[in-house]
């Protein structure tokens, strides 16, 4: 499933945050969008997933226009989005959280596979998600998304608040998700290492527009990006 | 506004006796609605039994001006103004006293559910309505007490008295809600838990507003009795309480003028409907409420104001706030190296889960102490237990601050915050209706009782706050609301707010999460300067490069215990840290 965004404009009230963005993530591709704070990264994801009604532009998933498609329908199409803040059900247990997106009990083999990625969650299946530590909640957010067997995964700063060891594991998991299941990835990140490791293209978002885009294997890219991200 | 005042002044010239009477009473209801708006609209206290206070005021006037027999029949009435006013004053005081008792009992429960007060007030209003009928010798029983109106004023004079009282109350309320006090009221409504960590005594603030609201309502009740000349159980009961809530909700919660509009407008609509279609009027009224809730959930006034502003291109009358630099002389702090806090053998957990299993360490004055450890090691819980006053299951925490020596165990959250312990949370917890500058202002008050009339426009902040604001792209967005801020900006605001408390100890949970490399660099420099000024900083951090650059000392938390401590270099070499940060599970 590919994702095509054309001339997307979105914001809140009269404030335009994302201004005429166009890009494409091919089927099985992975694009990382990096940028400083307040540049519109989260707003972009919200507009793509229908949480926020775009002011103008087109979003196509698998060739089909999804503007106006309710978020739950996108999720059923296999487009899974992990917001940056608060996407868990705090009163439900870890296990129940994993099951929610599946629409029934999470199958055991899938569950075990996910828990092998995050063993710490396996020890806490019955614990309420709200009482997990910040980093564990992030792990559960990703685990919950994986349990939905996404065809396209939209990640908003998934590495935020995770220890470096866990970030490495997250990177490996995302790479495997692409290789084994052909999942299309769009990730918004602050973590350049993770972005470069997982994505095959990197784009820089500045003041609501994409100002730079290239292959993640480009030599000297890291320095280039650091330069781009400086104020 | 001016138009409304002029209309109010000339209304008696155009209205007949009936409508003038209706308008007079609806103005009294307006006062009542304003009092609930302060309590519920601005401070978020869901007072479901607000009619109780109104009823007490009315009954007090009735009791002061009549003599009843044991069946509640009026034997004598005393028409003099003196007794009426005495009844009114006593009613106001009694209502205030009862509200104080109710408030103290309901608010002071530690971690009390905010709905506790809703249940209590609801129960009180229902009970009051029932008791009323049982005590005819005081209340007139089911018939109520009639014939208690004060006849010393004509209808038109009464109208002007009510109008004047309403204007004074509304003007006072507007000054209050725009003052610093009003700002703290809103912060409590938006996020009661968070504002405690800014040093605000939430219980006291709520109590002041709740008692004040009850007293204004009782005053309105007393006026009602003097004008209408009767009091009955209906003035106390749940139905009337609901009606007041509806006036506020339909008019526009937290707008002062909206609830007045709601009270006056709905009084007229109700009166008209009940006379034109006596059987269906309640149905029409119900439909009207549903329509308002569905189509204009903010109430009637806010959309009108927005339209007005758009047409006339006016900006908010409130005006923005700005941050201004002040040079502060460095506070006297403890000499470097002395312990400012001692954590001894602390155990803590949630339910059956034990997160901290005997943590021991000291925080030394003027150092930057980093707490590292894998996700789930208990780092945030440790900061919680340092600041939230919850008694640990075992062990103790003692602060040795410059001006304040206190044992953490059992001290309230605001007390710990006021003595100089500031905290930034891992996940931003901010206030939906407080702008960036307002959040910083509330934090910088550090719990001092805010002025009820002064509105601070220039928020005075030290250099470090300004640097954080500039570095995290918050500059120029001082008057934006948190829901419009990106995640990283919220993190920056959390940090700026904690710094503006001028803390002696700064506890920071992942201050650099969600920030870019450049922003981290600036923050590191700000930390260094704070340390030079003698501030003690404790931070939880995953970025080991950052830790190595800024930390004086590092402790490693794992499995709820301190497993390593030392300089960044020493700790980095330890096997536990290596394993934890390479990602293999530590057993």
Q: How far apart are CA B489 and CA B323, in angstroms?
A: 16
Q: Beta B458-461 vs B405-407: how paired, if at all? A: unpaired
Q: Using 50, 70 and 90 to split pLDDT, how confident is the model at B75?
A: confident
> Please, are residues B158 and B249 in contact by the beta-carbon 8 Å criterion?
no
Q: How far apart are CA B499 and CA A110, in angstroms?
A: 46
Q: Is the CB of B277 inside 8 Å of chain A's CB atoms? A: no
Rounded average pLDDT over B28-37 = 96
Q: Which residues of B touch A135 (CB under 8 A)?
A: 374-376, 542
Rounded average pLDDT over B470-490 = 85
Residue B301 lies inside a defined structural domain of this protein = no
At which of B200, B216, B237 does a domain end?
B237
Q: How far apart are CA B325 and CA B460, in angstroms?
A: 6
Rounded average pLDDT over A9-24 = 87
Instruction: Check whether residue B360 and residue B225 sit in a common domain.
Output: no
Residue B50 lies inside a defined structural domain of this protein = yes
Which among B359, B525, B334 has a CA at the least distance from the CA of B420?
B334
The per-residue pLDDT for B388 is: 82
Structure confidence by residue, pLDDT tens digits, B347-406: 998 877 788 998 999 999 989 999 988 888 888 889 888 888 777 888 888 888 877 666
The per-residue pLDDT for B586 is: 37
The per-residue pLDDT for B404 is: 66
More confident position, A180 or B190: B190
The per-residue pLDDT for A71 is: 85
The per-residue pLDDT for B179 is: 94
**Mean pLDDT over the full length of chain B:** 87
Instruction: Check whether residue B221 and residue B345 sit in a common domain.
Output: no
Kindly report the CATH number assigned to the domain that includes residue B462: 3.40.50.300
Distance from CA of A113 to the nearest CA of B (A): 16
> Please, are residues A121 and A140 in contact by the beta-carbon 8 Å criterion?
yes
Distance from CA of A63 to the nearest CA of B (A): 30
The per-residue pLDDT for B319 is: 65
Whether the pLDDT of residue B329 is over 70: the answer is: no
- Asked if the A3-78+150-229 domain carries CATH number 3.40.50.300, the reply is yes
Q: Which residues of B touch A119 (CB under 8 A)?
A: 585
The answer to whether the Cβ–Cβ distance between A134 and B514 falls below 8 Å is no
Whether the pLDDT of residue B431 is over 70: the answer is: yes
The answer to whether the Cβ–Cβ distance between A37 and B492 falls below 8 Å is yes
Q: Which H or E element spans position B107?
A: helix B81-107
Residues ≥6 apart with Cβ < 8 Å to B138: B63, B68
Pick from A85, A166, A226: CB nearest B487: A85
Q: Where are the alpha helices (DSSP H) in chain A?
A: 41-49, 71-76, 94-100, 108-117, 119-122, 134-147, 164-181, 192-198, 221-229
Total beta-carbon pairs less than 8 A apart between chain A and chain B: 112
Whether the pLDDT of residue A172 is over 50: the answer is: yes
Joined tokens for residue B151: 């006849």
Q: In what order do the strands lie in the sheet with A56-61?
A: A15-25, A3-12, A56-61, A64-65
Q: Which residue of A has its CA nearest to B354?
A: A131
Q: Which residue of B has its CA nearest to A139?
A: B375
The answer to whether the Cβ–Cβ distance between A134 and B515 falls below 8 Å is no
Q: Is the CB of A29 inside 8 Å of chain B's CB atoms? A: no
Q: Which residues of B touch A165 (CB under 8 A)?
A: 374, 580-584
Interface-testing mutation among A33, A51, A132, A135, with chain B (most B C-beta atoms within 10 A): A135
Q: How far apart are CA B577 and CA B469, in angstroms?
A: 33
Whether the pLDDT of residue B256 is over 70: the answer is: yes
The per-residue pLDDT for A84 is: 83
Q: A17 phi and psi, to 5 degrees?
A: -100, -40
Residue B395 lies inside a defined structural domain of this protein = yes
The answer to whether the Cβ–Cβ distance between A190 and B488 falls below 8 Å is yes
Whether the pLDDT of residue A152 is over 90: the answer is: yes
Distance from CA of A231 to the nearest CA of B (A): 8
Residues ≥6 apart with Cβ < 8 Å to B188: B43, B44, B195, B200, B202, B205, B206
Q: Which residues of A touch B517 (CB under 8 A)?
A: 226, 229
Q: How many residues does chain A have?
A: 231
Whether the pLDDT of residue B111 is over 70: the answer is: no
Pick from A84, A139, A162: CB nearest B487: A84
Distance from CA of B490 to the nearest CA of A (A): 10
Instruction: Check whether residue B233 and residue B378 sit in a common domain.
Output: no
Beta-carbon count within 10 A of B209 CB = 26
Q: Using 50, 70 and 90 to split pLDDT, how confident is the model at B259?
A: very high
Residues ≥6 apart with Cβ < 8 Å to B429: B191, B193, B194, B494
Q: Using 50, 70 and 90 to split pLDDT, how confident is the model at A11?
A: confident
Which of A130-139, A215-224, B509-518 is the least confident region?
B509-518
Q: How far apart are CA B121 and CA B99, in angstroms?
A: 10
Domains of chain A, residue spans: 3-78+150-229, 86-148
Q: Which residue of B has its CA nearest to A132?
A: B376
The per-residue pLDDT for B587 is: 34
Structure confidence by residue, pLDDT tens digits, A35-77: 887 788 889 999 999 888 899 999 999 888 988 888 888 888 8
Q: How far apart are CA B538 and CA B303, in angstroms?
A: 47
Pick from B486, B514, B517: CB nearest A226: B517
The per-residue pLDDT for A208 is: 83
**What b/e sequence results for B107-135 when a residue is b if at least 16 CB atoms lie within 10 Å of its CB, and e otherwise?**
beeeeeebeebbebbbebbbebbeebbee
Instruction: Count structural domains, chain B.
Output: 2
Residue A59 DSSP SS3:
strand
DSSP B484-504: GS-HHHHHHHHHHHHHHT--S
More confident position, A30 or B483: A30
Residue B146 lies inside a defined structural domain of this protein = yes
More confident position, B537 or B109: B537
> Please, are residues A58 and A8 in contact by the beta-carbon 8 Å criterion?
yes
Quick check: pTM over 0.95? Answer: no
Pick from A15, A86, A168: CB nearest B583: A168
Of B271-280, B286-295, B426-435, the range with the highest mean pLDDT is B426-435
Q: Which residue of B has its CA nearest to A11?
A: B484
Q: Using 50, 70 and 90 to split pLDDT, how confident is the model at B79?
A: confident
Structural domain including B71 reads 2-237
Q: Which residues of A touch B581 (CB under 8 A)?
A: 163-165
DSSP B39: I
């Amino acid at each position: 499933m590919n994702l095509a965004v054309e001339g997307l404009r979105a914001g809140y009230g009269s404030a335009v945050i994302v201004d005429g963005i166009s890009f494409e993530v091919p089927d099985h591709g992975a694009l990382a969008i990096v940028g400083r704070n307040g540049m519109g990264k989260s707003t972009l994801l919200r507009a793509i997933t229908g949480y926020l009604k775009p002011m103008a532009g087109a979003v196509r998933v698998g060739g089909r226009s999804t503007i106006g498609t309710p978020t739950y329908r996108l999720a059923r199409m296999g487009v899974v989005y992990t917001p940056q803040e608060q996407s868990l059900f705090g009163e439900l247990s870890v296990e129940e959280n994993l099951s929610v997106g599946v629409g029934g009990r999470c199958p055991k083999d899938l569950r075990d596979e996910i828990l092998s990625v995050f063993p710490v969650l396996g020890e806490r299946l019955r614990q309420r998600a709200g009482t997990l530590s910040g980093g564990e909640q992030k792990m559960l957010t990703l685990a919950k998304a994986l349990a939905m067997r996404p065809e396209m995964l939209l990640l908003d700063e998934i590495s935020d608040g995770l220890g470096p060891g866990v970030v490495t594991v997250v990177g490996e998991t995302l790479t495997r998700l692409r290789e084994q299941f052909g999942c299309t990835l769009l990730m918004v990140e602050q973590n350049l290492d993770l972005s470069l490791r997982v994505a095959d293209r990197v784009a820089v978002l500045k003041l609501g527009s994409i100002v730079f885009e290239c292959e993640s294997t480009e030599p000297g890219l890291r320095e280039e990006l650091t330069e781009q991200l400086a104020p | 506004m001016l138009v409304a005042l002029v209309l109010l002044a000339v209304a008696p010239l155009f209205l007949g006796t009936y409508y003038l009477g209706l308008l007079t009473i609806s103005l009294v209801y307006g006062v009542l609605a304003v009092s609930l708006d302060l309590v519920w609209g601005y401070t978020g206290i869901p007072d479901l039994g607000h009619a109780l206070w109104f009823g007490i005021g009315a009954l007090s006037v009735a009791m002061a001006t009549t003599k009843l027999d044991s069946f509640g029949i009026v034997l004598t009435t005393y028409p003099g103004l003196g007794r009426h006013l005495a009844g009114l004053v006593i009613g106001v005081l009694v209502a205030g006293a009862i509200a104080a008792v109710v408030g103290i009992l309901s608010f002071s429960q530690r971690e009390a559910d905010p709905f506790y007060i809703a249940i209590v007030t609801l129960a009180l209003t229902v009970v009051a309505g029932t008791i009323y009928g049982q005590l005819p010798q005081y209340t007139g029983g089911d018939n109520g007490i009639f014939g208690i109106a004060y006849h010393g004023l004509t209808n038109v004079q009464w109208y002007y008295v009510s109008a004047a009282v309403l204007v004074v109350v509304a003007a006072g309320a507007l000054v209050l809600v725009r003052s610093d006090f009003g700002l703290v009221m809103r912060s409590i409504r938006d996020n009661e838990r968070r504002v405690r960590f800014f040093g605000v005594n939430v219980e006291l603030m709520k109590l002041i507003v709740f008692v004040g609201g009850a007293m204004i309502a009782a005053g309105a009740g007393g006026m009602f009795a003097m004008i209408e000349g009767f009091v009955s159980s209906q003035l106390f009961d749940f139905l009337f309480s609901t009606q007041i809530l509806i006036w506020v909700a339909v008019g526009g919660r937290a707008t002062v003028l909206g609830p007045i509009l709601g009270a006056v407008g709905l009084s007229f609509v109700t009166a008209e409907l009940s006379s034109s279609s006596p059987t269906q009027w309640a149905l029409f009224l119900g439909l009207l409420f549903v329509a308002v809730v569905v189509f204009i959930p903010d109430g009637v006034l806010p959309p009108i104001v927005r339209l007005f502003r758009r047409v006339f291109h006016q900006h908010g009358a409130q005006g923005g706030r700005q941050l201004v630099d002040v040079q502060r002389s460095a506070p006297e702090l403890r000499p470097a190296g002395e312990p400012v806090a001692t954590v001894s053998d602390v155990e803590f957990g949630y339910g059956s889960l034990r997160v901290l299993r005997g943590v021991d360490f000291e925080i030394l004055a003027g150092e930057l102490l980093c707490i590292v450890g894998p996700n789930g090691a208990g780092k945030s819980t440790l900061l919680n237990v340092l600041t939230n006053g919850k008694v640990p299951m075992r062990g103790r925490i003692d602060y040795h601050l410059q001006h304040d020596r206190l044992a953490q165990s059992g001290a309230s959250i605001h007390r710990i915050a006021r003595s100089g312990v500031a905290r930034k949370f891992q996940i931003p917890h901010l206030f939906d209706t407080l702008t960036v500058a307002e959040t910083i202002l509330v934090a910088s008050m550090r719990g001092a009782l805010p002025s009820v009339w002064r509105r601070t426009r220039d928020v005075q902040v030290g250099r470090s706050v300004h640097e954080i604001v500039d570095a995290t792209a918050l500059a120029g967005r001082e008057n934006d609301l948190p829901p419009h801020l990106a995640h990283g900006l919220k993190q920056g605001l959390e940090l700026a707010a904690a710094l503006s408390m001028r803390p002696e100890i700064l506890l920071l949970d992942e201050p650099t999460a969600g920030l870019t490399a450049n922003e981290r660099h600036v923050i590191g420099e700000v930390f260094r300067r704070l340390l030079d000024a003698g501030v003690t900083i404790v931070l939880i951090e995953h970025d080991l490069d950052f830790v190595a650059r800024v930390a004086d000392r590092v402790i490693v938390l794992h499995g709820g215990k301190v497993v390593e401590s030392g300089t960044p270099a020493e700790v980095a070499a330890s096997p536990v840290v290596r394993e934890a940060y390479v990602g293999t599970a530590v057993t």
